């Protein structure tokens, strides 16, 4: 079986290389915006533009009109037309809004096809620039598909996509567990285990709050404001790294040690109606959790079951099955009015999830 995975690695470029990367992002943005403007123009004059057609037109004039583009890797300009076509396809199918022009500093990135770069231990060779150091080596093996270089805060990253051939491992322990993703902690498992967030993370979140408060007091356009802004974005980045690391460890542990893992399908619309809960869910990275569980279960041979969104995992008593309609979000302890059991709210939900298949079969 083949699965596609990607590994995002921080780059360690020198100043000259950083400038080069920024210029390649600029080329990618420029080409995309050129294509979009041209698309609109052609459409208004009654033509039916395509990404491929625009690319041909661009290639015919680029050397004469935009010679500076040739200093960046080829794909920095050529891929933009495929991206533009994808953006329009998404728009036509109602999956997203009308494509908009790219802005400098927003999602700066450029693409490199697999025949255009090389990876050697902790280095990557990018066309027209040469070798750039990587902060860690590629930890996946398989057929390399492509790379995408991007900037986040003041750091550079390369995300390498691979296709991996995997043979699921047989898990000895044939158990079923339910996992409830929490607000107060990262997750509760039906076997009684609770996975906490980290203290370092809580400290950083408090620090972030303070920084954001002092930022709001700085004067617009001042040097101090810029400095605060950079501090905030660096801290955001560190927080994201810690969260990802936690999710990574949790998903490996779960998919490696249990044969069936039942998780909730969070009702996104319902979540967004409750702002506080929405924030907690997005902070805890539910989507990242689900994504990792899905691919790791393939690697480790475990099985993921996503409970129907209407399954009352929180309101059902895991001991007698009675539904407690009066349970509110602030109740941390589940008290069953029918059998008078009391149990931690999240543990109760996790146990209900572990019984999901049985209940559905009954």
Of 22 and 319, which CB lies nearer to Zn ion in the complex structure? 319
DSSP states along 238-289 = HHHHHHHHHHHHHHHHHHHH-SEEEEE---HHHHHHSHHHHHHHHHHTHHHH
Of 198 and 338, which CB lies nearer to Zn ion in the complex structure? 338
Of 333 and 339, which CB lies nearer to Zn ion in the complex structure? 339
- Residue 62: φ, ψ to 5°: -60, -40
Contact 149, 127 (CB under 8 A): no
Q: How far is the CB of 182 from Zn ion (least distance, A)?
A: 21
Of 241 and 339, which CB lies nearer to Zn ion in the complex structure? 339
Q: How far is the CB of 340 from Zn ion (least distance, A)?
A: 7
Of 69 and 336, which CB lies nearer to Zn ion in the complex structure? 336
Q: How far is the CB of 336 from Zn ion (least distance, A)?
A: 3
Of 200 and 339, which CB lies nearer to Zn ion in the complex structure? 339
3-state secondary structure of 145: strand
Tokens 């408060």 sit on residue: 213
Q: How far is 36 from 86, CA to CA, in rounded Å?
A: 12
Binding site for Zn ion (CB under 5 A): 317, 319-320, 322, 336, 338-339, 341
Q: How far is the CB of 189 from Zn ion (least distance, A)?
A: 21
Q: How far is the CB of 311 from Zn ion (least distance, A)?
A: 17
Of 268 and 320, which CB lies nearer to Zn ion in the complex structure? 320
DSSP states along 27-41 = HHHHHHHHHHHHHHH
Q: How far is the CB of 315 from Zn ion (least distance, A)?
A: 11
Tokens 């750091």 sit on residue: 155
Handedness of CA 146, 151, 152, 156 (dihedral sign): positive
Tokens (6 digits) for 98: 């009308």
Of 47 and 320, which CB lies nearer to Zn ion in the complex structure? 320
CB-based contacts of 269-274 (< 8 A; 24+ apart in sequence)? 274/329
Contact 293, 263 (CB under 8 A): yes
Q: How far is the CB of 351 from Zn ion (least distance, A)?
A: 12
Q: How far is 254 from 304, CA to CA, in rounded Å?
A: 10
Tokens (6 digits) for 186: 């990262």
CA angle 4, 10, 12 (to 5 degrees): 140
Of 144 and 327, which CB lies nearer to Zn ion in the complex structure? 327
Q: How far is the CB of 353 from Zn ion (least distance, A)?
A: 16
Of the candidates 204, 205, 180, the residue with the CA atom closest to the CA atom of residue 190 = 180
Contact 239, 201 (CB under 8 A): yes
Q: How far is the CB of 292 from Zn ion (least distance, A)?
A: 34
């Amino acid at each position: 079986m083949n699965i596609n995975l990607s590994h995002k690695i921080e780059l360690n470029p020198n100043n000259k290389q950083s400038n080069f990367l920024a210029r390649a992002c600029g080329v990618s943005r420029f080409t995309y915006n050129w294509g979009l403007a041209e698309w609109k123009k052609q459409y208004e004059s009654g033509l039916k533009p395509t990404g491929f057609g625009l690319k041909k037109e661009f290639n015919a004039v680029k050397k004469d009109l935009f010679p500076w583009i040739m200093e960046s890797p080829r794909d920095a300009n050529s891929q933009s037309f495929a991206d533009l076509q994808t953006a329009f396809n998404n728009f036509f199918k109602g999956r997203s809004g009308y494509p908009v022009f790219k802005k400098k500093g927003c999602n700066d990135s450029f693409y490199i096809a697999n025949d255009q770069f090389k990876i050697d231990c902790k280095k990557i060779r990018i066309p027209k620039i040469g070798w750039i150091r990587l902060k860690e080596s590629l930890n996946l093996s398989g057929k390399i598909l492509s790379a995408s270089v991007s900037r986040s805060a003041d750091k550079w990253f390369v995300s390498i996509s691979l296709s991996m051939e995997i043979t699921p491992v047989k898990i000895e322990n044939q158990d079923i567990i339910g996992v409830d993703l929490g607000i107060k902690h990262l997750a509760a498992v039906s076997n009684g285990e609770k996975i906490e967030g980290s203290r370092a993370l809580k400290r950083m979140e408090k620090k972030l709050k303070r920084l954001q408060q002092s930022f709001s007091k700085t004067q617009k356009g001042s040097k101090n404001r810029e400095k605060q802004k950079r501090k905030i974005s660096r801290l955001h980045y560190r927080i994201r790294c810690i969260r990802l690391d936690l999710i990574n460890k949790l998903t490996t542990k779960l998919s490696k040690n249990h044969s069936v893992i039942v998780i909730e399908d969070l009702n996104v619309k319902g979540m967004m109606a409750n702002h506080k809960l929405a924030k907690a869910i997005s902070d805890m990275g539910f989507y990242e959790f689900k994504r990792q569980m899905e691919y790791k279960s393939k690697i480790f041979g475990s099985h993921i079951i996503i409970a129907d969104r209407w399954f009352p995992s929180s309101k059902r008593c895991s001991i007698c099955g009675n539904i407690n309609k009066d349970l509110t979000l602030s109740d941390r302890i589940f008290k069953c009015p029918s059998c008078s059991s009391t149990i931690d709210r999240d543990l109760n939900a996790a146990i209900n999830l572990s019984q999901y298949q049985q209940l559905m079969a009954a």
